[in-house]
Amino acid sequence: MTHTLASPATAELEVRRSRFLALVTPVEDREAALAEVARLRAEHPAAAHVCWALLAGGHSGMSDDGEPSGTAGRPILEVLRHHDLDGVLGAVVRYFGGVKLGAGGLVRAYTDAVALAVAGAEKVERIPETVLRVEADYADAERVRRWAEAEGYAEPEAEYGEAVLLLLRVPAVARDAAAIALADLSNGRVRIAD
């Protein structure tokens, strides 16, 4: 069972005058993760390094951002894996304090900073989702919207043309039941596109 985070969490660690500001945050994909890394760089322009690792829906990535190879991104990634996290970005902003830590010291510092942030984060079970592509007329589209709201699903994205195409995120295990419920709701008029 994998988990994600309910909300971002931070921690700060000082090691031999270097400051390590750690952030763990839920993200949907690589694009959202890179946007968050860019935000951190803009927020901390004087930082020596902004190192990160990502696990999101089978996508992973990491960056040592100028630190010696394998001393920052990989330790951050290993902390995320150790805690069975998915849909999570781990990032650490380092302000260099003038004392070199060596490879082992860097690995420990990045590992400890991210582990502190994860320890302070609320973890929630990650439920795999799928997107239902629902084609409906305008009247049925409103019924689908109300049904989705009553079921606790996010407002569907909609594309309007001769008919309405609604993109509805549902838990993968509920896909078939949702398709049946929508067919019943509209007396078979809505179509689930593949």
Check whether 127 has a pLDDT greater than 80.
no
User: pLDDT by residue (tens digit) across 75-92?
Assistant: 999 999 999 898 899 999
- Residue 194: pLDDT band by 50, 70, 90 thresholds? low
Q: What angle do CA 67, 58, 191 make, to 5 degrees?
A: 145
* pLDDT given for residue 108 in this prediction: 94
Look at the block and give the residue holding tokens 């990634």: 77
Check whether 154 has a pLDDT greater than 80.
no
Backbone angles phi, psi at 148, to 5 degrees: -60, -40
Helix H or strand E encompassing 177 = helix 175-185
Check whether 22 has a pLDDT greater than 80.
yes
Do 90 and 79 touch, CB atoms closer than 8 A? yes
